[in-house]
Chains A and B, each alone.
Chain A
Amino acid sequence: MFNNICEQLTKLIHSIPNRTKKMVKEEKEMANRPDNTAFTQQRLPAWQPMLSAGIVIPGFVLIGLAFIGIGVALFVTSRSIEVLELDYTGVESSSACFKCSEPNKVNCVCELEFSLDSLFKGPLFFYYGLTNYFQNYRKYGVSKDYDQLSGNLDNFKTPSDTCAPYKYYNNIPIVPCGSVANSMFNDTFKLYQIINGTKKQVPFDGKGIAWWTDYNIKYRNPSVTPLKDAFNGTVKPVFWPKPAYELDPTDPANNGFINQDFLVWMRRAALPHFRKLYRRITEGDYAQGLPAGNYSLEIAYNYPVLSFDGKKKVVLSNVSWMGGKNEFLGIAYLVIGSLCIVMSIVMLIVYAKFKFPEED
């Protein structure tokens, strides 16, 4: 075995000098001659598109038309979407929630009344909206502990440093720690239809409002039952009235880190004016939407926004294939499409001016 390998090795070693010698002899005279390949001679076959006015101008027209087409579709769709937006910040004294807007008010409830002239077609989405609220502030955004939020019990005892300044409260670890969790939106809403003076509650569907990946992968409760035990030796976030495991008293499965409202809040908004989905109205008598009539919105007013000139809103909206109402996109498409058409006309004029005299 070994001998065989050795023989082969020997042969190989023998052959190397021979081969090189041969090559040297053959190519001695033109040893430095460059390789004549398409690559080295820069003659790689290539497609060289020759643009001409005949391609460019119609191209512009086509793209312009396409954009206008999309723009019209978007615009029409957007127009068909109905939106009801109610500001309940209570800045003006006439506002129903004015009484709750004072700084030190606790457990204040205000009612906002509105009426619909016609059926508000469903399925309806119920959002709450905040303005001048910087959820995209960097230090705010990083202030959470991903390991803790994915149910790692070690991080219950020692939260990550990123949670500062909401890491410990009196040296007891905060769970869930960090600014984002701490500042969770805690106004609650109930919608009633007023039928003959009596309130009929509109049922809210609070399931599946968070992202699937958030609910199933990104956020996990620790696998401890009851959930409450996992939180032993920790405190609730400073701003929170209730600990995490009691966020939803009605549904034990909707507690801890996988509480839908919590998940929605934890997904940071892109810009300082934003909406977040609160509930959907898809059930019972209201599956087709809100019928015409008078409605009353009961708001548990907890979340302070006036200090930073913020606004709180509720938004009722139905959706289309393109999601919520978005007039900007449609208009932008129309504008840019038209711009392309205008430019193609300009180009045509320029072309005519430059091209035809020469041909004459």
Chain B
Amino acid sequence: MGLHYININSPGTYAMILFVDFSSAFSTIIPDILHSKLSQLTLPAPTCQWISNFLTDRRQQETFKVPGFHNLPGPEVGVQHRRTIRKKAQQRMYFLRQLRKFNLPQELFYTAIIQSVLCTSVTVWFGSATKQDRNRLQRTVRTCTFPESGNGQFNSHRNLINKTLICLFSTGLGAPPPFLCLSFCQKGFVIDGSAMSPTCKCYTMPKDSTCKQWSITGIYKRPSLLSLMAKESVESGLTWEVRANNRHYHKYKEKKSLLFFRWGRYADNLVRSYKFSPLTFLPLTLFEQFQRVANLYFLLMMVLQCVPVISSIPWYITVIPLFTVLTVRGLKDLINDMADLLLLCSSEPHSLCYVETADIDGETNLKYRQALSATHNELTSHPSEEALAAFDGVVLCEEPNNHLYTFRGQLHWRRECLLLDNEHILLRGTVLRNTEFAYGLTIYTGADTKILKNCGKLRLKTTQTEKVFNKVVIVIVLSVLLASLLLAIGSGVFSSWAMKHSEVLSALVVNGNPIYMGFLIYWSYIILLSPAMPIALYITFEVIHTVHSLFIGWDMEMYWQPADRPAQARNTSLSEELGQVGYLLSDKTGTLTQNRLLFRQCCIAGEIYEAPVYQAASPDEEALVGAARELGWVFLSRTRDFIVVSELGVIRQYQLLALLDFTSKRRRMSVLVREPEGGLKLYCKGADIVILERLQKDCPYQERTERALEACLRTLCVAVRSVPEASWGQWSKTLDQSAAMATCDRDALLEKLYDQMERELQLVGVTAIEDRLQEGVPETIDLLQQAGLKVWVLTGDKKETAVNIGYSCKLLDPETTLLEWQELREILQSPDPGVSFFKARQTELWAADKKTTGAKTAVVLTGPELTEFDQRPDWGATFMSLAEQCQSVLCCRVTPGQKADIVTLVRKHTSSITLSIGDGANDVNMIKTAHIGVGIEGVEGGQAVQNADFALSQFRFLTRLLLVHGRWSYRRISLFLCYFLFKTCGFALVHIWFGFFNGFSAQSLYETWFIALYTVFYTAWPIMLAAFFEQDVSAESSLRWPELYKIGQKQELSSPLMLSLSLLYAVYSSLVFFFIPFGVFYNTAFDFQTMAVTVAMAATFTATIEIVLVTRYWTKFNIAAVCVSLLLFFICTRITHGSRLFQRAPGDYLFIGVSDKAFIDPVVWLTALLTTWMAVLPSVTALALNVILTVHDKHKVHSASQPVELRSKLKRGVYRRRSSYALSQGAGPGHLITSGTCIRSTVPSVDEKASNICAKNIDLGLEDLSIYCRAS
């Protein structure tokens, strides 16, 4: 309920509007108080009376979910409910008391209590507890209050538990009654406090606690006027609404689901550690599992088998694999979920809050989050519990999404609209540091949290091999359906024949209707042939992928000791694609280079100063600030509005007026300061290209400065402008206005405004920083090129830098000719681009060096030129065909979006696999777009890694990732797929041929147990182990002969042809499996069961011999697996054919005694042997021919390859070397300065390390500017 005064048109006149929201009025409002309040507000007495009448004596019900106690009844049940709670608490305490009675050592006793509390939760409802109840509870509390003295070891625990319990119970003792639930979960430390009263006691988290996250999920209170705001927000995309202290609103719209239907808006407000409780585990897992097609297939098969008329094999045959699958996957899904919070206030000044986001983006440095000053002021000025309970803000924000680094929203509170962004949000997964406590309002819960939204995304990538395989599977499924149909027709025909001629069989035709019979037989054959549909393979496939990923993470050679980081496969399903990469698209800065900066020189007013050697650990600014201090400009302190700098001993104070913050799009930042003398100055720093185009026309030192730019260094331009007081006044007004605007257009508007200010600049100087190549980059690129990869470099830097880096990292040879845009454009426009290209290459080559035989060309493009491709879509294909002949392509000055466009271009016009590698946020787009994204864990933060499929610490590890792991993985997976197809299809298709000789009756040729065990026990392990361990050549040889990698690029092992050949082979072997025993047993006294055992034997032998043929790397596990599989066949067959099982269930073990006879019958053995040999003969022949034919190939490889030449071919000074400045990608910390919230650290020193990141960032942002203040 809310009472609002609204100003209509003219000031001074008011209309009074009363909003009544009855949805929550019953439980949250005490009618008497309301009555008196309303009277105070001069509401007419009858209205007041009416409202109170309406509210009193209503029945109410409310349900609360609490971990541990589910669905506790609300106050309606009153006394009974309270007793239940008390009983529960007492039960627990009783148990503890009993423990103490046993003279349990004190430590152990308290450990038990801690365990008890940590593992479960204690809930108390004091709503309107009777005195008796309270006394009892108090007694209980006393029981677990600890004595003062004690062994020091448990003091911390004791404190924790003491506080908890006291807080828990004492809260309730004081009226008015809150509902407070305190729960400790293994994973998190959570207070779910939801009060029906203005007070809610909150508990502060002790320092050094191991608990990770602590949240107050909204202290719900009254709703307020919202409709107007909501409408406006929908237009701006802010449609997610969170109301503080309003349980009903959220409860009502809570997400629910039943079977496949889901409704509701908000995820469960319940914060749990696990998705499943023991009770719900099975149904929920089953439901989630059956969403996967493969499992649905199993289910369908099972259902079909349960229908007696069509079941050709018993139901348990499918249940065995299905159950295995569900268990494995179900266990995998045991993950937890929690909430994202809006920071309201914290223990620190200005409600700053230091967090570590290592779990989210892998960055280990401290970050700050800050509450809105409005909430900070309000919630920290009064005792915060009460203020929190009274907090009734409404948050409108984006729908739950997966963008970890952005957040847009508004907080509507006290008729004010406050803008919210990422700074105010504490994401699930962040860890509070150096902050005593923080209060927050839950924005997204459970599955809506950003981190969880993010999790699902990476899974979308599927590999090329998998796609091909999926197609093959579809072909198989269709073939099986078709074969079933044909067999069903055959069955119909046979039935009608049998009805006329055979008395014995005609009685068996169901309903005496051949067509109906055919229909039933159709389904029976689908079941019977279902093993041929290799759906079960997907599970094994997943396991193999996971193991390959583990191997990547375990590789010592890819472990980088300085940072203590191993390689990481974040996406486990792409490993074999690493063996097929055709295009490597690499970022430059931080990927090829170290991003470890060395301040080299600066050019101020045209004079070049060589800097003293000063090495800084990370980004540009730090290097600059350090150097500045060395030169005598020392940053001293900052207050909200002032910066104090010691300039060669003279202390000067600058007033900070505005900060035009950095964005990757603007590529510059500026500060507007008032000098001690009174003038206004705008200092701007940024990328040279950006600054240079904003300079005054007749800038004095431009020429000399530009010369400084030509050194091969990363540069940063600094410029200044005097701002007239008048224009500042006007500009600042507009700035204030637009800053308060709706979030959508705000950024664009601000950018425009900033742009207005940053004009007519005067160049002050240039700083130059060297960014060295990473270790091993030239060798890596050389090796990769030998392996047939096309390496492209996509960089935001300028052309000169990119080309230089290209030469120094061996991407380009000294004799490589560069094909630039003008020339390329002509070629592209010419009627026959291929010829023109060839000509261009020829002439260039002729001119450069007549002796060079290999034509080497590299294309150099820049971002603006690339935009022309958008207008000429036909160029794409032509360009790609040219690029394929080129040594490399360098794309400079490209935006993150363009990087992704280039990847798309490559993907679109070639069938090759693309791999993008980068380290910064600007690479995220291309990392996501490429088939494989690799993130370098560098200094620019974890965003690239966060979005990548693989994470490496060094560029050079790429060789091992691709040439060793990728190649192996590709081989293993291809081998696995082909073999799997062969073994399942060969085994299952036998039934088609058998159908022709049993009246198309869907009679199985195998014993049912054999069908069940064949895939799981007899043939699964050897191929699994081969898929884990198989190596055709060792890791060292893979690296020595990179040419071996080309097999994967050409998809030689996993091409549709190869898979089709496997299928064909399977069909062949199925023919052999049936017709050789057929020939032997035709017109003899051998019975059906003996034949079944013979064929089963042959099928098992064939599968075993086939795996022996393909395995080249025999570890003891492989050998054991093969032996065990064969042994298992004989043992299991003997067991299922034994009399013991038969006597238990005569109907299930019909083959009693068959193997006793068959295994000693020479004809059975000779038939099985003959069948097996005949079945594997093509494979053996192919292998033999391969051995014979490749003898000389291998010989050639071994003798011809010489050690890779590692001498650098860089010719320094030959090319005009220029440089450019690569920018860091995040937004700058400017707003923090302008909002003046960093005064806590008034006297920071540069040496102070990461503990105070906020202050440091600002130092860095401005100290380097201070250098130029003087210089100008």
A interface residue numbers (CB < 8 A to B): 2-3, 6-7, 9-10, 13-14, 29-36, 40-42, 44-49, 51-53, 56-57, 59-60, 63, 67, 70, 74, 127, 129, 131, 134-141, 143, 146-147, 150, 160-161, 165-166, 179, 182-183, 211-214, 217-218, 267-277, 304, 307-309, 321-324, 326, 328-329, 332-333, 336, 339-340, 343, 347, 350-351, 354-355, 358
A13-B1166 contact given A139-B508, A150-B1146, A332-B1076, CB 8 Å threshold: no
Contact yes or no, B559 A33, CB < 8 A? yes
Can you offer 17 A-B residue contacts whose CB atoms are under 8 A? A32-B559, A33-B561, A42-B968, A52-B1191, A56-B1187, A137-B1001, A138-B312, A140-B1001, A141-B1003, A160-B1147, A271-B1078, A277-B1085, A328-B1082, A332-B1080, A336-B1170, A350-B1188, A354-B1188
A273-B1166 contact given A46-B1113, A47-B1114, A134-B998, CB 8 Å threshold: no
A329-B1080 contact given A48-B1114, A270-B1091, A354-B1192, CB 8 Å threshold: yes
What residues of A have a CB within 8 angstroms of the CB of B1143 in the complex?
Answer: 217
What residues of A have a CB within 8 angstroms of the CB of B1112 in the complex?
Answer: 48-49
What residues of B have a CB within 8 angstroms of the CB of A358 in the complex?
Answer: 1192, 1195
What residues of A have a CB within 8 angstroms of the CB of B1195 in the complex?
Answer: 358
Contact yes or no, A271 B105, CB < 8 A? no
CA distance A292 to B504 in the complex (A): 40
Contact yes or no, B564 A30, CB < 8 A? yes
Checking B107, B508, B1080, B1157 against A10 with a beta-carbon cut-off of 8 angstroms, the contacting residue is B107
A2-B102 contact given A272-B997, A323-B1161, A336-B1173, CB 8 Å threshold: yes
Query: From residue A40, how far is it (CB to closest CB) to chain B in Å?
Result: 4
B interface residue numbers (CB < 8 A to A): 102-105, 107-108, 111, 153, 308, 312, 498, 501-505, 507-508, 510, 524, 551, 553-556, 559, 561, 564-566, 968, 997-999, 1001-1004, 1029, 1031, 1035, 1076, 1078-1092, 1112-1119, 1139, 1142-1143, 1146-1147, 1150, 1152-1153, 1156-1157, 1161-1163, 1166-1167, 1170, 1173-1174, 1177, 1181, 1183-1185, 1187-1189, 1191-1192, 1195
Contact yes or no, B1147 A147, CB < 8 A? yes
What residues of B have a CB within 8 angstroms of the CB of A138 in the complex?
Answer: 312, 524, 998, 1001-1004
What residues of B have a CB within 8 angstroms of the CB of A53 in the complex?
Answer: 1187-1188, 1191
Contact yes or no, A326 B1152, CB < 8 A? no
Closest 8 CB pairs of A and B: A213-B1153, A40-B554, A138-B1001, A270-B1091, A138-B1003, A146-B1146, A308-B501, A308-B502
Q: A140-B1001, A160-B1147 are in contact. List 8 more A-B contacts (CB 8 A).
A: A35-B554, A42-B1031, A48-B1112, A51-B1187, A63-B1173, A134-B999, A138-B998, A347-B1188
What residues of B have a CB within 8 angstroms of the CB of A273 in the complex?
Answer: 1082-1083
Query: From residue B1163, how far is it (CB to closest CB) to chain A in Å?
Result: 6
Q: Which residue of B lies closest to A309 (CB)?
A: B501
CA distance A337 to B127 in the complex (A): 92
What residues of B have a CB within 8 angstroms of the CB of A34 in the complex?
Answer: 553-556, 559, 566
Query: From residue A235, how far is it (CB to closest CB) to chain B in Å?
Result: 16
A214-B1153 contact given A52-B1191, A350-B1185, CB 8 Å threshold: yes
Query: From residue A255, how far is it (CB to closest CB) to chain B in Å?
Result: 21
CA distance A128 to B2 in the complex (A): 100
Contact yes or no, A60 B1184, CB < 8 A? yes
What residues of B have a CB within 8 angstroms of the CB of A67 in the complex?
Answer: 1170, 1173
Contact yes or no, A137 B1083, CB < 8 A? no
Checking A41, A140, A304, A321 against B508 with a beta-carbon cut-off of 8 angstroms, the contacting residue is A140
What residues of B have a CB within 8 angstroms of the CB of A277 in the complex?
Answer: 1085
What residues of B have a CB within 8 angstroms of the CB of A217 in the complex?
Answer: 1139, 1142-1143, 1152-1153
Contact yes or no, B108 A13, CB < 8 A? yes
What residues of A have a CB within 8 angstroms of the CB of B1035 in the complex?
Answer: 42
What residues of B have a CB within 8 angstroms of the CB of A2 in the complex?
Answer: 102-103
Interface-central residue, A51, A309, A336, by most chain B CB under 10 Å: A51
What residues of B have a CB within 8 angstroms of the CB of A51 in the complex?
Answer: 1183-1184, 1187
Contact yes or no, A146 B1191, CB < 8 A? no
Contact yes or no, A324 B998, CB < 8 A? no
A140-B504 contact given A10-B107, A36-B556, A146-B1146, CB 8 Å threshold: yes
Contact yes or no, A268 B1185, CB < 8 A? no
Contact yes or no, A183 B559, CB < 8 A? no
What residues of A have a CB within 8 angstroms of the CB of B999 in the complex?
Answer: 134, 136-137
Contact yes or no, A136 B508, CB < 8 A? no
What residues of B have a CB within 8 angstroms of the CB of A336 in the complex?
Answer: 1170, 1173-1174, 1177
A308-B498 contact given A32-B566, A183-B504, CB 8 Å threshold: yes
Q: Which residue of A lies closest to B1034 (CB)?
A: A43
A137-B998 contact given A34-B553, A165-B508, A218-B1153, CB 8 Å threshold: yes
Query: From residue A79, how far is it (CB to closest CB) to chain B in Å?
Result: 16
Checking B1167, B1181, B1187 against A329 with a beta-carbon cut-off of 8 angstroms, the contacting residue is B1167
What residues of A have a CB within 8 angstroms of the CB of B1076 in the complex?
Answer: 332
Contact yes or no, B1031 A322, CB < 8 A? no
What residues of A have a CB within 8 angstroms of the CB of B1174 in the complex?
Answer: 336
What residues of A have a CB within 8 angstroms of the CB of B505 in the complex?
Answer: 134, 137, 140, 308
What residues of A have a CB within 8 angstroms of the CB of B1191 in the complex?
Answer: 52-53, 351, 354-355
Query: From residue A344, how far is it (CB to closest CB) to chain B in Å?
Result: 9
Contact yes or no, B507 A179, CB < 8 A? yes
CA distance A323 to B1164 in the complex (A): 11
What residues of A have a CB within 8 angstroms of the CB of B1004 in the complex?
Answer: 138
Checking A14, A42, A143, A323 against B551 with a beta-carbon cut-off of 8 angstroms, the contacting residue is A42
Contact yes or no, A270 B1152, CB < 8 A? no
A354-B1187 contact given A42-B1029, A272-B997, A329-B1166, CB 8 Å threshold: no
What residues of B have a CB within 8 angstroms of the CB of A267 in the complex?
Answer: 1087-1089
Checking A29, A141, A323 against B1163 with a beta-carbon cut-off of 8 angstroms, the contacting residue is A323
CA distance A133 to B1078 in the complex (A): 16
Contact yes or no, A3 B1163, CB < 8 A? no
CA distance A72 to B1216 in the complex (A): 84
What residues of A have a CB within 8 angstroms of the CB of B502 in the complex?
Answer: 134, 307-308
CA distance A273 to B1091 in the complex (A): 14
CA distance A168 to B588 in the complex (A): 85
Query: From residue A161, how far is it (CB to closest CB) to chain B in Å?
Result: 7
Contact yes or no, A268 B1087, CB < 8 A? yes
Checking B308, B1083, B1152 against A129 with a beta-carbon cut-off of 8 angstroms, the contacting residue is B1083
Q: Which residue of A lies closest to B996 (CB)?
A: A272
Query: From residue A199, how far is it (CB to closest CB) to chain B in Å?
Result: 28
What residues of A have a CB within 8 angstroms of the CB of B1114 in the complex?
Answer: 46-49
Q: Which residue of B lies closest to A350 (CB)?
A: B1188
Query: From residue A4, how far is it (CB to closest CB) to chain B in Å?
Result: 11
Q: Which residue of A lies closest to B1161 (CB)?
A: A323
What residues of A have a CB within 8 angstroms of the CB of B510 in the complex?
Answer: 139
Contact yes or no, B1001 A139, CB < 8 A? yes
Contact yes or no, B1188 A56, CB < 8 A? yes
What residues of A have a CB within 8 angstroms of the CB of B1183 in the complex?
Answer: 51, 56
What residues of A have a CB within 8 angstroms of the CB of B504 in the complex?
Answer: 140, 179, 182-183
Query: From residue B81, how far is it (CB to closest CB) to chain A in Å?
Result: 36
CA distance A84 to B998 in the complex (A): 27
What residues of B have a CB within 8 angstroms of the CB of A44 in the complex?
Answer: 1029, 1115-1117
Query: From residue A272, how far is it (CB to closest CB) to chain B in Å?
Result: 6
Q: Which residue of B lies closest to A166 (CB)?
A: B507
Contact yes or no, A137 B1173, CB < 8 A? no
Q: Which residue of B lies closest to A307 (CB)?
A: B501
CA distance A60 to B1173 in the complex (A): 11
Query: From residue B958, how far is it (CB to closest CB) to chain A in Å?
Result: 18
Contact yes or no, B1146 A70, CB < 8 A? no
Query: From residue B942, how far is it (CB to closest CB) to chain A in Å?
Result: 15
Contact yes or no, B1185 A347, CB < 8 A? yes
What residues of A have a CB within 8 angstroms of the CB of B1113 in the complex?
Answer: 46, 48
CA distance A182 to B1183 in the complex (A): 53
Q: Which residue of B lies closest to A324 (CB)?
A: B1084
A275-B1085 contact given A47-B1114, A218-B1142, CB 8 Å threshold: yes
Contact yes or no, A269 B561, CB < 8 A? no
